[in-house]
Amino acid sequence: MVVFETDRLVVRDWADPDGDRVFDIYRRWEVSRWLGAEPRVMTDRGAATKAIMRWNERSREAPYGVWAVEERATGTIAGTVLLAPLPDPTDGTAGRGEVEVGWHFHPDAWGRGLATESARGAIEHGFRAGVGQIYAVVRPDNVASLAVCGRLGMRPIGRTSRWYGAELEAFLI
């Protein structure tokens, strides 16, 4: 199902045939090094299938989701964009209504503004659904994602270890 579209992108639910691309994205250290409290790469294709199932389940809770970002011109999956509740800092469950936008892209999609374009669409999707404010949390040395936050017009609110068990730069829009 298509969630939203931008000039160059179709943002949609994941499909089973996307598994090879999911594995190709998340098996790469240059992508996975920025994710989670203890970053690790995806080690087998079966993990991609499980991820797709988990993400599509999460996407049933509108307006939230973890979606495929497909380039309209080529049909290539460039990466992932998400709009999701931030976890409760004490137990990792859905938190206090705080929502994050995030993005993970294949290196062949870097440097073309696709993360910014898809994240802007996800933010607009959230605002249309009544979400009042949206956070982004980024590892302090992830220069590319810090720049995306700036291009999105997000306001830096400082460094925190409140979410994901890691010290992160937090932004708000």
Q: 3-state DSSP call for residue 143?
A: helix
At 46, list the tokens: 């079966």
Instruction: Give per-residue pLDDT as tens, 10-41.
Output: 999 999 999 999 999 999 999 999 998 889 99
Question: Full-prediction pTM beyond 0.85?
Answer: yes
pLDDT computed for residue 62 by the predictor: 85
Residue type, 15: A
- How distant, in Å, are the alpha carbons of 53, 60, 96, 153 from that of 15? 9, 14, 30, 32
pLDDT computed for residue 168 by the predictor: 95
- The CA-based dihedral angle spanning residues 12, 17, 20, 24, taken in that order and rounded to the nearest 10 degrees: -10
Element (H, E) at 25: helix 19-26
Beta-carbon contacts of 98 under 8 Å, excluding residues fewer than 6 positions away, are 85, 86, 135
Which domains can be identified in the chain, with CATH numbers?
Answer: 2-172 (3.40.630.30)
**Is the pLDDT assigned to residue 90 strictly greater than 90?**
no
